[in-house]
């Protein structure tokens, strides 16, 4: 949690520290910050020509945070340590849009999955679309920023970029990141091995956690939620250490972080200080995390392969909320219950004709079974083979109150036996983006 805590000490002590911090910020901002020898130079941020006047004048502050899949300049020892072997794509592996409200009372984080299929902003190629992570490869940070602005209709005010090695160093410089899991997480590709419980991850492990794609839930949508947990975990550690509420510590934090980032030319220590200071009194329930809503999860495109397609109606409603400085959660509410698996892929044998018909209307593959002479006491029981565990939650969402009963050898078909307790059937919708990417607040996402 990001606690609401006042600055400690007497008023005059606090004023002295603020004055000292102001002097430090002024001196650091007055000249170029000493960066590492191979750090990329800042770039001039320009806005996309399609941005409306309302977007350019919109309240609040928008940051684009990206992580680059880059190994250039890394030694074999570094590559092995970070477990980032393979061919680099020189593209954005992580992309988060962060909005800080104008009144300082809310932070909204919207993840833009790397495989999102969008139209690229104009550049030195014929106009075309592609995966959003490819915009960086085609035109560097400038094209990445303008493509995000064109796709979202939002003005980007600040740009923060890191790569594998600098990300690990940045996490260490910030004191690690707190994450938690209720099950073992293992991914050979990223090198992740995390036991159940709460952990403070150093940089190398944080990188493996952020890159893992072959853990449950698999793919990009599960991964972006873990990246959101990681961001929250770093903010939590900073708040607990007083690095957001003490101005001198905050200057130290900003100064340690900046050399590990590539930024736009208008973002420096003073900017990071101002942004961090604005977060000092935010509670966890004033932070919200979401993913762009999707309508297609395997849209095949020549030269790009499998892509994700945004649900334009809901996505634009969400971006409009950000532009108008409102919470995003209220724009993404669904009437139907979102489920992870397509109902048509869940075969069920149901012994109640009314329940069977209602499930069929929601798209389930239903076979009617002969009703029993006497119904069992209690609620509905769903019997299934543990092999089909991922599908069980989809059927259970449609039958609120039903009991799940895994039985080895049950087969592919789920057996639904309705008990004497009246069974309602809920409307469900296949929307994986709202299963793993549904808007949540920091107090729902944090470790407990």
Instruction: Provide the pLDDT for residue 32.
Output: 44
pLDDT at 214 over 90: no
Confidence at 1, pLDDT banded by 50, 70, 90: very low
Name the least confident of 122-136, 276-290, 352-366, 428-442: 428-442
CA angle 146, 271, 19 (to 5 degrees): 170
- The first and second tokens of residue 44, run together, are 């001039």
Confidence at 336, pLDDT banded by 50, 70, 90: confident
What are 283-325's pLDDT values in tens digits? Answer: 999 999 999 988 888 899 999 999 999 988 889 999 999 999 9
Edge-to-edge strand ranges of the sheet holding 92-100: 262-263, 158-163, 61-68, 92-100, 107-111, 287-291, 440-441
Rounded Cα distance between 299 and 293, Å, is 15
Task: Work out the burial of residue 303: count CB atoms within 10 Å of its CB; fewer than 13 is exposed, 13-18 middle, 19 or more buried.
Answer: exposed
CB atoms within 10 A of CB 280: 22
Secondary structure (H, E, C), the chain: CCCCCCCCCCHHHHHHHHHHHHHHHHHHHHCCCCCCCCCCCCECCCCCCCCCHHHHCCCCEEEEEEEECCCCCCCHHHHHHHCCCCCCCCCEEEEEEEEECCCCCCEEEEECCCCEEEECCCECECCCEEECCHHHHHHHHHHHHHHHHHHHCCCCCEEEEEEHHHHHHHHHHCCCEEEEECCCEEECCCCEEECCEEEEECHHHHHHHHHCCCCCCCHHHHHHHHHHHHHHHHHHHHHHCCCCCCHHHHHHHHHHHHHHCEEECCCCHHHHHHHHHHCCCCCHHHEEEEECCEEEEEEEECCCEEEEEECHHHHHHHHHHHHCCCCCHHHCCCCCEEECCCHHHCEEEECCHHHHHHHHHCCCEEEECCCCCCCCCCCCEEEECHHHHHHHHHHHHHCCCCEEEECCCCCCCEEEECCCCCCCCCCEEECHHHHHCCCEEHHHHCCC
What are 360-369's pLDDT values in tens digits? Answer: 998 999 999 9
Of the candidate CATH numbers 3.40.50.300, 3.40.1350.10, 3.40.630.190, 3.10.20.70, the domain formed by 11-334+435-445 belongs to 3.40.630.190
Domain boundaries, the chain: 11-334+435-445, 338-430
Give the pLDDT mean for 414-427.
95
What are 20-65's pLDDT values in tens digits? Answer: 555 555 554 544 444 444 567 788 999 999 999 999 999 999 999 9
Instruction: Provide the pLDDT for residue 358.
Output: 94
Q: Could you tell me if 268 and 33 are in contact, meaning their C-beta atoms sit under 8 angstroms apart?
A: yes
- Pairing mode, strands 158-163 and 177-181: unpaired
- Pairing mode, strands 428-430 and 337-339: parallel
Report for 30-44, 124-138, 219-233: range of highest mean pLDDT = 124-138
More confident residue, 133 or 183: 133
Per-residue CA distances from 333 to 103, 226, 246, 439, 443 (Å): 24, 22, 38, 9, 19
Q: Could you tell me if 117 and 309 are in contact, meaning their C-beta atoms sit under 8 angstroms apart?
A: yes
Instruction: Provide the pLDDT for residue 307.
Output: 95
Rounded Cα distance between 74 and 397, Å, is 47
């Amino acid at each position: 949690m990001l606690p609401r805590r006042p600055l400690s000490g007497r008023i005059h002590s606090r004023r002295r520290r603020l004055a000292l911090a102001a002097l430090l910020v002024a001196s650091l901002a007055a000249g170029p910050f000493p960066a590492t020898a191979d750090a990329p130079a800042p770039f001039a941020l320009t806005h996309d020509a399609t941005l409306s006047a309302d977007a350019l004048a919109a309240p609040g502050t928008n940051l684009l945070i990206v992580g680059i899949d880059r190994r250039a300049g890394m030694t074999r020892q570094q590559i092995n340590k970070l477990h980032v072997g393979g061919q680099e794509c020189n593209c954005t592996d992580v992309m988060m849009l962060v909005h800080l409200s104008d009144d300082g009372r809310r932070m909204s984080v919207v993840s833009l999955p790397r495989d999102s299929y969008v139209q690229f902003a104009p550049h030195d190629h014929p106009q075309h679309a592609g995966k959003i992570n490819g915009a960086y490869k085609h035109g560097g940070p400038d094209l990445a920023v303008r493509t995000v602005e064109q796709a979202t209709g939002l003005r980007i005010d600040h740009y923060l970029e890191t790569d594998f090695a600098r990300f690990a160093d940045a996490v260490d410089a910030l004191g690690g990141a707190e994450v938690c899991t209720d099950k073992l997480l293992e991914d050979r590709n990223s090198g992740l091995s995390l036991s159940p419980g709460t952990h403070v991850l150093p940089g190398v492990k944080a990188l493996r956690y952020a890159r893992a794609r072959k853990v449950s839930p698999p793919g990009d949508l599960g991964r972006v939620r873990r990246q959101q947990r990681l961001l929250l975990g770093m903010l939590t550690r900073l708040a607990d250490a007083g690095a957001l509420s003490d101005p001198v510590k905050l200057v130290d934090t900003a100064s340690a972080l900046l050399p590990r980032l590539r930024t736009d030319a208008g973002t420096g220590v003073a900017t990071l200080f101002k942004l961090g200071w604005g977060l000092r009194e935010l509670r966890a329930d004033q932070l919200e995390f979401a993913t762009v809503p999707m309508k297609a999860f395997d849209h095949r495109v020549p030269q790009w392969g499998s892509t994700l397609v945004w649900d334009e109606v809901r996505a634009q409603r969400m971006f409009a909320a950000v532009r108008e400085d409102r919470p995003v959660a209220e724009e993404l509410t669904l009437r139907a219950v979102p489920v992870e698996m397509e109902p048509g892929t869940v075969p069920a044998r149901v012994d109640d004709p009314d329940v069977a018909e209602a499930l069929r209307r929601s798209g389930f593959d239903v076979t009617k079974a002969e009703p029993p002479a006497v119904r069992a006491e209690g609620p509905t029981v769903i019997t299934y083979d543990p092999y089909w565990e991922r599908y069980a939650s989809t059927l259970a969402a449609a039958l609120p109150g039903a009991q799940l009963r895994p039985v080895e050898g049950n087969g592919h078909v789920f057996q639904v036996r309705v008990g004497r307790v009246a069974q309602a059937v809920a409307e469900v919708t296949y929307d994986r983006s709202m299963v793993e990417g549904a808007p949540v607040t920091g107090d729902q996402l944090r470790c407990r």
